[in-house]
Structure 1
Amino acid sequence: MKPNLYICHTAYQVLVDLLRAGRAEGGPHTMVLSAAVADAEALAVRLDKTGVVQTVLVDETRWPGTVTGPLAALRARRAFEKLCGWKLDRGRYENVYIHNDWSVLGRYLQDCHAGYILCEDTFGSTLGPDQHLVTDQRAAPDFAQKQNSGKGYLYWGDSPWCKLVESEDASRCTLFGPEKLVTDSKGALLQSLTDAEKAMVRTVFLTQPLPEQAEGATLLLPRSFVADGLMTQEHQDAMFRAVAARYAVGPLFIKTHPRDTTDYQALFPDAVILERTMPSEVLNFCLPFTFRRAVTVQSFVLRGFTAAEEKILLTLEEAQALISQ
């Protein structure tokens, strides 16, 4: 069995594909990290240490745009390889997986006629009620011509060079015919992790060791109201101090939004600061404990969160009122 190739653009995709690679025959597998993956170089070092994948860094930002005219696919392929420093050897791999085929790397796969498998980017995305990107693409006057000829770019699984589309539940997906769909439940994957798999994930996404005593801990999930132009940094700091003082029980963990540049280690010197680029699924499925409380302010982050006994969602007004208490 040959190794697989996994192409990732987000930390969530890295998490899912690392776990899938660990269960697939033919390893170590190859994982391409786009420049869109946060802190890609450091992440690649930790991924390589698992022995499950060998990483390749590809800077898509070096690619200037689309090539048109005679032999466009061939010319685009060669230009990509020269500028981005990576060349696909399709014969080396059993399967090629990508989550975002509308990306530069997705275009490259189509130029290579790679026969790739499109993976869901989030849980159940192929089952969502709003699929206007797909329906709008199919309504374009040149859609049939592109599909039949294989020339030009089509995304979201519509390219003839996409051989399969994964769905959380293929029996409920109406976007494609059954011959192009396969069920691959990422939810079931994460629910079935072994202790060894959870430990491997922690070595990749946690850059500091967890405290020995973490039972009964509180997880604070702040977001940046400063970046949204709603308050000053000083006011936001005071608000989250007040929220923690009111609701934190046991050891305090903080996992913030990737856009939030607040120095939470300075704000809470005794807290465990989790990587802001870590996917929330690590908290839900890969820690050796659950939290007593998870607290956030005016955010949807707790919607699918399952790793806390109690979830507290404060409005911005409620959080700010704590400052004066």
Structure 2
Amino acid sequence: MKSTSDKTDKRIYVCHTYYHVLVSVLKEMTEGREKGGEAVMLLSRMSNDFETLSDRLRASGLFTDIMDFDEKRETFFPELAKYKEDKGGIVANMYNRILFTKKFAKLEEKFIPVDFREFDDIYVFCDADPIGIYLNQHRIKYHAVEDGLNTLKPFVQAKYNDRGHFGIKKFFSMNLNLIFMCDGYSKYCIDMEVNDISVIDDDFYKYKEVPRKALLDSLSSEDKERLVRIFIKDTDALKAFVSKNNRDGVLILTEPLCSLDVREKLFRDLTAEYSKEGTVFLKPHPRDVLDYDKLFGEFWIFDRTIPMELLGLFEGIRFKKVVSVYTHLDLIDFADEKIMLGDDFMDKYEDPSVHRKAEAVEKAFKK
């Protein structure tokens, strides 16, 4: 475990995705600059290959250290599987969950690369990942940050995950710290930072609104140039794109949906549909492992690691439409029309019960 110097105005950001890194950088360029002190970034390799991002973050000078985090999922520890079996009743299942929580946190210990107690503020993106259990079981307070832009708008994950006997589970998590619930519903989570409280169907007192657009709008020209250097590996390629006629362009954002074969069909259908309207461009999601370069080579394909919000920083980039399935488009300001297809569209590609989680939450909490 790596030690840092004396605890004075120190912040650490635990990031699992490129979007998490983007928000962390924005926070450091704004809030961090006002607070002073220093910041460290922890890059979890559990669900993303950040490639050479660490080097570019170091070169930015925003963080005193960039650390890799070899975070492990529960499936890495086969001895935990028995605690996930359904025992047929709330009492037996709760007992197993208590044991699971304690043992999982203990097993994760040796993979933690830093002493979190040395930091004044800990920001955890997606505390539903193992780091959330670890921090709570070690009684370390932290700030949760929403996983993606307006992630809680469709449904609150904690309420979906624990929609049966929610009140009991909430008490065991928030009061007793015997089990763990995500998105602020845990004892040692101080608050849950979100982009827009008004879109969340939950009046939970821990929600703290920090609009992302305000962070972006407050950046200086120098800050924007630094953002580009951090996230865009090949600016020449983007300049080449800018030189193309993209005024009739349709940008389709991919997402890691369904199985790979169904996902390919889904985006085949979308590219075929929107090719009728203009030039189609694809922006693969960072966690989408479908080989778009090979399978969709006839289209212009953006580097998957570029946060789509940064495209608006380039003068000349403008699309007729931006289309997504579930990705929220609130920060997109470089398109004439924004289309989020949603559940009705997804019904054609998979069992509705898989993605209609908001309806499951509504049914469970209906009075």
- TM-score with structure 1 setting the length: 0.72
| 1:161 to partner: Cα distance | 0.6
Matching residue of 1:293:
320
Give the conservation status (yes or no) of the 8 Å contact 1:124–1:168. Answer: yes
| 2:201 is aligned with 1:168 | no
| Equivalent of 1:267 in 293, 297, 300 | 297
| Equivalent of 2:148 in 110, 122, 145 | 122
Q: Residue 189 of structure 1 aligns to a residue in which SS?
A: helix
Give the whole-Å Cα distance in 2 for the aligned partners of 1:22 and 1:104.
Answer: 28
Mean Cα displacement is larger for which, 106-115 or 54-63? 54-63
Matching residue of 1:52:
62
| 1:196 to partner: Cα distance | 2.3
**Partner AA of 2:218 in structure 1:** S
Cα separation, partners in 2 of 1:182 and 1:136, compared to 1, 3 Å? same
| Equivalent of 1:182 in 203, 208, 217 | 208
Matching residue of 2:116:
89
Matching residue of 2:23:
16
Give the whole-Å Cα distance in 2 for the aligned partners of 1:133 and 1:99.
Answer: 18
| 1:20 to partner: Cα distance | 0.5
Give the whole-Å Cα distance in 2 for the aligned partners of 1:242 and 1:101.
Answer: 38
Matching residue of 1:279:
307
| 2:183 is aligned with 1:156 | yes
* Deviations 1:189-219 (CA, angstroms, capped at 9, x unpaired): 2343332222222222222113268265345
Matching residue of 1:323:
none
Cα separation, partners in 2 of 1:134 and 1:16, compared to 1, 3 Å? same
Gaps of 5+ in 2: 1-7, 84-95, 346-367
* Deviations 1:93-117 (CA, angstroms, capped at 9, x unpaired): 2210112112111111112211101
Give the conservation status (yes or no) of the 8 Å contact 1:293–1:312. Answer: no
Give the whole-Å Cα distance in 2 for the aligned partners of 1:293 and 1:11.
Answer: 26
Cα separation, partners in 2 of 1:232 and 1:37, compared to 1, 3 Å? closer
Map 1:101-140 onto structure 2 (within 5 A): 101-126=127-152, 132-133=159-160, 136=163, 139=166
| 1:182 to partner: Cα distance | 2.8
| Equivalent of 1:255 in 283, 286, 290 | 283
* Percentage of matched positions with identical amino acids: 24
Matching residue of 2:171:
144
**Partner AA of 2:60 in structure 1:** T
Q: Residue 163 of structure 2 aligns to a residue in which SS?
A: helix
Matching residue of 2:41:
31
Gaps of 5+ in 1: 317-325
Map 1:175-324 onto structure 2 (within 5 A): 175-177=203-205, 180-209=206-235, 210-211=238-239, 214=242, 216-217=245-246, 218=249, 220-221=251-252, 223=254, 227-229=260-262, 236=268, 247-248=278-279, 254-257=282-285, 258-263=288-293, 267-268=297-298, 271=300, 273-283=301-311, 285-294=312-321, 299=325, 304=330, 305-309=332-336
Give the whole-Å Cα distance in 1 for the aligned partners of 2:264 and 2:104.
Answer: 47
**Partner AA of 1:32 in structure 2:** L
Give the whole-Å Cα distance in 2 for the aligned partners of 1:312 and 1:75.
Answer: 44
Matching residue of 1:322:
none
**Partner AA of 1:261 in structure 2:** D
Q: Residue 163 of structure 1 aligns to a residue in which SS?
A: strand
Cα separation, partners in 2 of 1:287 and 1:106, compared to 1, 3 Å? farther
Give the whole-Å Cα distance in 2 for the aligned partners of 1:133 and 1:313.
Answer: 22
Give the conservation status (yes or no) of the 8 Å contact 1:40–1:57. Answer: no
Cα separation, partners in 2 of 1:128 and 1:309, compared to 1, 3 Å? closer
| Equivalent of 1:5 in 3, 12, 30 | 12
Q: Aligned Cα RMSD in Å?
A: 4.3
| 1:4 to partner: Cα distance | 0.8
| 1:17 to partner: Cα distance | 0.9
Mean Cα displacement is larger for which, 149-158 or 9-18? 149-158
Give the whole-Å Cα distance in 1 for the aligned partners of 2:99 and 2:271.
Answer: 57
| 1:55 to partner: Cα distance | 1.7
Cα separation, partners in 2 of 1:265 and 1:308, compared to 1, 3 Å? farther
Matching residue of 2:124:
98
Give the whole-Å Cα distance in 2 for the aligned partners of 1:176 and 1:245.
Answer: 45
Q: Residue 136 of structure 1 aligns to a residue in which SS?
A: coil
| 1:277 to partner: Cα distance | 3.4
Give the conservation status (yes or no) of the 8 Å contact 2:144–2:192. Answer: yes
Cα separation, partners in 2 of 1:255 and 1:146, compared to 1, 3 Å? closer
Question: Relative to total residues, which structure has the larger helix share, 1 or 2?
Answer: 2
